[in-house]
Amino acid sequence: MLKKLSAALTAGLLASVLAACGGGGETSASGGGDAGSGKITLGFSQVGSESGWRAANTKSIKDSAATAGIDLKFSDAQQKQENQIASIRSYIQQKVDVIAFSPVVVTGWDAVLKEAQAAKIPVILTDRAVDSDASLYATFIGSDFVKEGEEVGKWALEEFKSASGPVNIVQLEGTVGSAPAIDRKKGFESIIAANPNMKVIASQSGDFTRAKGKEVMQALLQANPKIDLLFAHNDDMGLGAIEAIKAAGLKPGADIKIATIDAVKDGMTALAANEINFIAECSPLLGEQLMELTKKAAAGETLEKRIVTKETTFTPQQAAEVLSTRQY
Amino acid sequence: MKALTKHRLFWPAAILVVMLLANVIVTPTFFRIELKNGHLYGSLIDIMLYGAPLILIALGMTMVIATGGIDLSVGATVAISGALACSIIAEQPDQEAVGGVLTAVAFALGLSLVLGLWNGLLVARIGIQPIVATLILMVAGRGVAQLITDGQIITINSEPYELIGGGYLFGFPFAVLVVAVVVAGTAVLIRRTALGLLLEAVGGNAEASRLVGIRARRLLVLAYVFCAFCAGIAGLMISSNIRAADGNNAGLWIELDAILAVVIGGTSLMGGRFSLAGTVLGALIIQTLSTTIYTTGVPPQVTLVFKALVVTAVCLIQSPAFRAKVFRRRRPTGPASPAPAEAEVAA
């Protein structure tokens, strides 16, 4: 009996594991290369599908390619550099017109970028940077994390400009050592330095997650009786912190002002409900811009080395207006 | 006094007390517990509330480690359990319905039991080494959780579900009450029946225990099922506390914290003797350490180094050999060396 059960279990779990892996493979609209159709072919290697943000990013790229009439070959690297290098190599062999990818890590891209260059295929980096020489790729399109931090800083300066006493700020940082965490902190702190009243009294990492955001905020609330402003490096940590603030018997958005970055749907919902006061967008919707760049690169134009994604900021009123049409 | 310091729980308890006192020095209000919105509120309550999932998982881990095994898959089980419960509730027409929440909880815990059974069968029936057998689920499990949540964070609004990990019953955090019940139930089952003795026998020498007529395999499977069950409850707590299921991050690396808690509590990784109270103390030490880092403002960049130093110190203090050396150096004229029997008792 037990033997049969264990066999069934093995089969069941294996099936689910295989299904989990199956989401990855390459999907391609048409089989061969760009044989005479006149259509531009773009080979895109995505990092993986780790978050709602990333899912929106993938959807934006796929939809924009269809609208722009670009033949998209899409692969998912499942957070592994070797997968990404393998798919870029296969794009080179298929002689696509342009290659784009969102690098898993910063280092180790020189060899494959040189191969692409030797095959005269322009490469566009999306969303994340690499440490290779800038001559090896055509352009890098993505968010400017420093600017996002600065936007929050500017809003905070304006919000607390009439404050007479000191303004106690608590910061929930992203994963230690990650580019968004470093840059957002730098941008924010450089702007608020203009007002000596504004002081970051505690700054801890919440690992970009809700659970950690709540746990850290709860501890910070115990240690710091007076907090005026919370700056969370992403919406999720902010949403966790809101729960902690409520548990402390305070009103998020009123007793403690909250500013975050990202503008995912859950964050925007909280913003519209006045539980968050300000969100600087970090948009995953770079598909349209990417397709324009693809066309230019395929036509042999020289591109600017750094292109910033079109991004904006939201107040509660603006959030309430766009909430129903928010894609992610 | 000497008898006290020789008690196997003396050092973990002493470390916890020292940590709490260190917090009071930095934050004078640390021990203050007040009533806010009809429930208890304070740092000590926070430590228990956020330590609750870890205590549960470490409790299950203790059973597995007592048999000489190890379960690396508890973090994945946490993610799967939370993901399944939240996705079931999210599909309900009325998320506030108690019946729907109970269904979700039942399914999540049921699946956890199945996962535990899978681990147990791999170890006990097929004979794969525990670290390898559970590694399979540790790696694959997050994929399963992602599959359930479709790679998204599932947010729910359900008061009854929120009770499990973030709610209060008679002013007490519900999660802490759940842990108290599970710990008490386990202690009674383990120490008032022969079950604990049998587990220790299997961990001490599986072959010998089989020869004296103990059904070692069945006990092994039971230990892994219990461990997964605890992880399942912890998964419900963690997702309930933030009203969302995060397949990527829920319970990430919690297996390592749980193993550490068990070891700090004085249970040997070789199997055999184990201490439930020690494990609870160990988990509380780890959670207190995290809280200490947040409240005292250790910079995030050095947090891990700070943790490592404290854990190293904790392990050294608990080592009889280390204590004997330090003891000897301080009083070179004292008795030549502590009797080996003494070291054995302290271990």
**A119-171 tens-digit pLDDT:** 999 999 998 888 889 899 999 999 999 999 999 999 999 999 998 899 999 99
Q: Which of A16-25, B2-11, B240-249 has the lowest mean pLDDT?
A: A16-25
Q: What's the burial of A7, exposed, middle or buried (CB within 10 Å: 0-12/13-18/19+)?
A: exposed
Tokens representing B172? Answer: 């007490």
Paired tokens of B239: 């997702």
Per the CB < 8 Å rule, is A211 touching B242?
Answer: yes
Which has more pLDDT, B172 or A28? B172
Predicted confidence at residue B3, as pLDDT, reads 76
Inter-chain touch B46–A51, beta carbons under 8 Å: no
pLDDT value for A107: 86
Residue B206: pLDDT band (50, 70, 90) is confident
Distance from CA of B237 to the nearest CA of A (A): 11
- Cβ contacts of A20 on chain B, cutoff 8 Å: 140, 143-144, 146-147
Q: Report the pLDDT value the prediction gives residue A191, as an integer from 0 to 100.
A: 97
- Cβ-nearest to A219 among B46, B238, B246: B46
For residue B30, how many other CB atoms are within 10 A of its CB? 21
Contact B6/B266 with Cβ under 8 angstroms?
Answer: no
Higher pLDDT, residue B327 or B162 = B162
- Can you state the angle between helices A210-223 and A235-247, rounded to 10 degrees? 50
A267 contacts in chain B (CB < 8 Å):
none
Angle in degrees, CA B189, B190, B192, rounded to 5: 70
Cβ-based neighbour number of residue B243 at 10 Å: 23
| Mutation target vs B (from A50, A222, A250; most B CBs, 10 A cutoff) | A222
Q: What is the mean pLDDT of chain B?
A: 90
Reported as half-sphere exposure (CB side, CA atoms, 13 A), residue A33 has a value of: 12
Among A5, A215, A217, pick the best mutation site for testing chain B contact (most B Cβ within 10 A): A215
**Tell me, what's the pLDDT at A3?**
52
Q: Which domains does chain A have, with CATH numbers?
A: 26-143+284-310 (3.40.50.2300), 145-282 (3.40.50.2300)
Output DSSP code: residue A29. S
The 8-class DSSP code of residue A233 comes to S
Residue A1 has pLDDT above 70, yes or no: no
pTM above 0.80, yes or no: yes
Residues of chain A with Cβ-Cβ distance to B118 below 8 Å are: 9, 13
Taking CB atoms within 8 Å and a gap of at least 24, the contacts of A112-118 are: A112/A85, A112/A88, A113/A137, A115/A89, A116/A88, A116/A92
Contacts of B166 in chain A (CB under 8 A): 243, 247
* Mean pLDDT, chain A, whole residue set: 87
Contact B153 A216 (CB under 8 A): no
Residue B333: band (very low, low, confident or very high) from pLDDT cuts 50, 70, 90? low
The mean pLDDT value for A82-94 works out to 94
Task: Determine the pLDDT at residue B331.
Answer: 55
**Range of lowest pLDDT (A32-36, B7-11, B83-87, B145-149):** A32-36
* Those residues with Cβ within 8 angstroms of residue B80's Cβ, 6 or more apart along the chain or in another chain: B108, B111, B112, B115, B141, B144, B145, B148, B235
pLDDT, greater one: B339 or B320: B320
**Any A CB within 8 A of B33 CB:** no
CATH of domain B2-297: 1.10.3470
pLDDT of residue B319: 85
Per-residue pLDDT tens for A260-284?
Answer: 999 988 999 999 999 999 999 999 9
| Low-confidence winner among A67-76, A85-94, A102-111 (lowest mean pLDDT) | A102-111
Q: What's the token pair of residue A211? A: 């659970």
Annotated domain spans of chain B: 2-297, 307-347
Identity of the residue in B117, B241, B300 whose CB atom sits nearest the CB atom of A173? B300
A9, A20, A51 member nearest B118 (Cβ)? A9
Chain A residues with CB under 8 Å of B155 CB are: 266
Chain B residue closest in CA terms to A16 = B144
B140 vs A17, A207, A211: nearest CB: A17
- Rounded average pLDDT over B150-167: 90
What's residue B1's pLDDT?
Answer: 61
Contacts of A266 in chain B (CB under 8 A): 153, 155, 244
Whether B168 and chain A come into contact, CB under 8 Å, resolves to no
Residue A175 has what pLDDT? 86
What is the nearest CA distance from A19 to chain B, expressed in angstroms? 8
pLDDT at residue B329, rounded to an integer:
62
Cβ within 8 Å of residue B236, ≥6 positions away: B81, B82, B85, B105, B108, B109, B164, B165
pLDDT at B172 over 80: yes
Phi, psi (rounded to 5 degrees) for A66: -65, -45
Task: Test A249 with B46 for CB contact under 8 angstroms.
Answer: no
ipTM higher than threshold 0.95? no
Chain A contact for B103 (CB, 8 A cutoff): no
CA dist A8 and A277 (Å) reads 52
Contact B322, B343 (CB under 8 A): no
Tell me if B300 and A204 make a contact (CB, 8 A cut-off).
yes
Confidence band for A324, pLDDT divided at 50, 70 and 90? confident
